């Protein structure tokens, strides 16, 4: 008999297949053998320095999901105040203290998509990027983000 976490994840996978999200290029388990490891490919938000590229996120799901949150980390290096450039760790309250079982893998990835467009420099994992925003150097921040997005992000094909 399938466990509660397996049933929940299979239901989420069916929802993803039935109603794909524009912000997500893909969201699925990494293999048929392990429902607790997923891979997401997230589009860079429009009208941001991330626009036109996509980023890979690795998702580890605990056995206690959805009671406990999944762990999401960027595989693609991302220059962002709330993302650790080397480890891919993401500083987002819903991944820690504000988690609720109402969140799904899709809604969590969409929250990260929103975070990319709306950085929070007061809780940085990347102090250099945060300091540019704190000093009001939006041009410098956008230039730095564009540079790294161009180097590490995978280009999306033109529509």
3-state secondary structure of 134: helix
Q: Does domain 4-155 have CATH number 3.10.110.10?
A: yes
d(CA 66, CA 1): 18
Q: What is the DSSP string of 45-56?
A: PTTSTTTTEEEE
The pTM of the whole model exceeds 0.75: yes
The residue ranges of every structural domain in the chain are: 4-155
Apex 66 CA angle, 64 and 72, nearest 5: 90
pLDDT at residue 158, as a whole number? 59
* Helix axes of 4-18 and 105-117: crossing angle, nearest 10 degrees: 60
Active site residue 54: no
Which residue in 79, 91, 109, 127 is the catalytic one?
91
Instruction: Answer for the pair 111, 105: CB distance below 8 angstroms, yes or no.
Output: no
What DSSP element (H or E) covers 141?
A: helix 138-152
pLDDT at residue 156, as a whole number? 74
pLDDT at residue 123, as a whole number? 87
pLDDT in tens, 114-144: 999 999 999 899 999 999 999 999 999 999 9
pLDDT in tens, 22-68: 999 999 999 989 999 999 999 999 999 999 999 999 999 999 999 99
Judge whether residue 148 has pLDDT over 70: yes
Kindly state the percentage of the chain with pLDDT values over 90.
90
Judge whether residue 92 has pLDDT over 50: yes
What's the burial of 51, exposed, middle or buried (CB within 10 Å: 0-12/13-18/19+)?
middle
Confidence of residue 83 (pLDDT cuts 50, 70, 90): very high
């Amino acid at each position: 008999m399938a466990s509660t976490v397996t049933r929940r994840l299979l239901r989420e996978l069916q929802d993803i297949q039935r109603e794909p999200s524009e912000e997500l290029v893909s969201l699925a388990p990494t293999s048929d053998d392990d429902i607790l490891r997923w891979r997401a490919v997230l589009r860079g938000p429009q009208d941001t320095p991330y626009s036109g590229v996509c980023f890979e996120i690795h998702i580890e799901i605990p056995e206690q999901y959805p009671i406990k949150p999944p762990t999401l980390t960027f595989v693609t290096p991302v220059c962002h105040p709330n993302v650790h450039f080397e480890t891919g760790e993401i500083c987002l309250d819903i991944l820690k203290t504000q988690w609720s079982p109402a969140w799904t893998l899709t809604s969590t990835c969409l929250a990260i998509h929103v975070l990319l467009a709306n950085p929070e420099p007061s809780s940085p994992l990347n102090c250099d990027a945060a300091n540019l925003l704190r000093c009001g150097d939006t041009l410098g921040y956008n230039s730095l983000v564009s540079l790294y997005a161009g180097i590490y992000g995978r280009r999306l094909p033109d529509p």
